[in-house]
Structure 1
Amino acid sequence: MGTIATNNRQITLFYHPDTSLGKRMNAYVNSMDKDVLIVDVSKTKVTGTQWSELAEKLNIKIADLINQEHPDFTKNYGKGPFDMEEHDWLKVLEMHPELLIHPIVINGEEYMQIKKPTDFTKFMGADSAGADEKNPL
């Protein structure tokens, strides 16, 4: 059992509010006809275990959760390539949650990084998201 609670009747969003996509996803998720859990990573401490679980469920490395081109990242860590261990990447996210590269949505047992607004529409299905390909977010 993971540390992140999931529920088929609930949508969970992990996001940072300083990104335009994060703001859009927050508004859009809140408009859904499901229960919503919003995790603003700038206000809520996400543990290393939770970050690890998110990466695992997304089938990516923890480093892939981090925007390595973000000005704060390059200021603190320089430019890559980087040869850091998983626990080092976890420390980066724990100390600098603003580096989260994309919002993450959980719907039941399904996890997805939202890289563009239409990803959310596809993830939720056009009917349940209230949008279609001709009228994306």
Structure 2
Amino acid sequence: MSKEDMGVIAKSDHELKLYYHPDNRIAKQSIAVAEATKAEKVLINLAEVKLTETQWGEISRLLDKDPSDLINTDHPFVKEKLSEHPEMDENQALKVLVHNPEVLNHPIAMRGKKVIQVKGINDIMKLQELDSKDAKLP
């Protein structure tokens, strides 16, 4: 197994990881939905936990997205510090995410090998296991 295959982020089918910034409008709802699952929860508050460029790079690869696709280009920081329509290469986007995680456009949920951007509160349901361990939400 090559170093690239191993990755730096631990993945477990029994664990639901949620990467979020508390300023994100859907973060609180995402946390509430995550709390309703029976999976072990790992809530990663990006205002308190600083991810590395390598970790952000792995998350973007797992999502099959360019790191710049994880950035909310309408965020005031982006508009004020970068430009109205920033063109960022992968390295620039990773640096922005490391130093200004509040620009993350959507919380990111991970369970096992499944990784999604949480654009609506029901998105986390896609990570629910189809067994009886998880609570059924209305």
If the TM-score is normalised by the length of the shorter chain, which range does it land in? 0.7 to 0.9
Partner of 2:28: 23
Contact 2:9 2:55 in 1 (8 A): yes
- Taking the aligned partners of 1:129 and 1:63, their CA distance within structure 2 comes to 35
Q: How big is the alpha-carbon RMSD for the aligned residues of Structure 1 and Structure 2? A: 1.7
User: What SS is found at the alignment partner of 1:20?
Assistant: coil
TM-score of the two chains, using structure 1 as the length reference:
0.88
Contact 1:121 1:129 in 2 (8 A): no
The runs of at least 4 consecutive aligned structure 1 residues that moved more than 6 Å come to none
Amino acid at match of 1:56: R
- Taking the aligned partners of 2:39 and 2:124, their CA distance within structure 1 comes to 15
User: What SS is found at the alignment partner of 2:22?
Assistant: coil
- Taking the aligned partners of 1:129 and 1:93, their CA distance within structure 2 comes to 33
- Percent of aligned pairs with the same amino acid: 33
- Taking the aligned partners of 1:81 and 1:39, their CA distance within structure 2 comes to 27
- Taking the aligned partners of 1:66 and 1:9, their CA distance within structure 2 comes to 28
Matched, 1:78 2:86: no
User: What SS is found at the alignment partner of 2:26?
Assistant: helix
> What count of residue pairs does the alignment treat as equivalent?
131
